[in-house]
A = this chain, B = another copy of it.
């Protein structure tokens, strides 16, 4: 699947995702995305139809990346659920730290950001983000199940309760990190996440 068409689309999506994350949906304009992706504006519109559709596609693409680079990587790296949980936090922390050390401000979670900004105005963007969070829960559900298996978690721990709570605390952590412009806030929520996991 390396057709020229797909390469162009990937370039656009990557540019859009970066720009939306660094600033915000509305602060980024289509020209900036075109410049970053080095495509003509009409080309972008031929591929994605509208800025909103581009955002949805960028959300999906960024989601795929995080799935691989954060969640599946953390699962692959360790069998132990606590290590896995820790691995997720470490990876997200590193993503923020590396940008922060380059002088950029702490960008927070791209999904939280665009949802907070646009959920009221665009239900299609809201739904795209909702689907992302729904999927993220599956990883936490897996971790919760294993935490019970190894006896870390309480016996009554309900994975269907813990999983959304773990997404919630991660989102909250990233909100704090952005509001305080302090990547460390991410790691500081790991203890709370463990608390949730214990039940």
Nearest Cβ distance between residue A144 and chain B, in whole angstroms? 13
The docked-state distance in angstroms from the alpha carbon of A23 to that of B121 is 6
| A interface bracket (residues with beta carbon within 8 Å of B) | 35 or more
Contact B23 A120 (CB under 8 A): yes
Q: What are the interface flags for A22-35 relative to B under an 8 Å C-beta threshold, 1 for contact and 0 otherwise? A: 11101100000000
Is the pair B117, A116 in contact by a Cβ cutoff of 8 Å? yes
Taking a contact as CB atoms under 8 Å apart, the answer to whether B121 and A179 are in contact is no
With A119-B181, A192-B168 already in contact, the answer to whether A112 and B175 are too (CB < 8 A) is: yes
Contact A178–B116 (Cβ < 8 Å): yes
Cα A119 to Cα B117 in complex, Å, equals 12
Cβ-defined contact, A133 with B176, below 8 A: yes
- Copies of this chain present in the complex amount to 4
Binary per-residue interface labels of chain A (152-185) against chain B in the complex, 1 for a CB within 8 Å, 0 otherwise: 0000000001001101111111011011110001
Find out whether the CB atom of B181 lies under 8 angstroms from the CB atom of A176: no
**Chain B CB within 8 A of A188 CB:** yes
Residues of A within 8 A of B (CB): 22-24, 26-27, 105-108, 111-113, 115-121, 123, 126, 129-130, 133, 161, 164-165, 167-173, 175-176, 178-181, 185, 188-189, 191-192, 195-196, 199
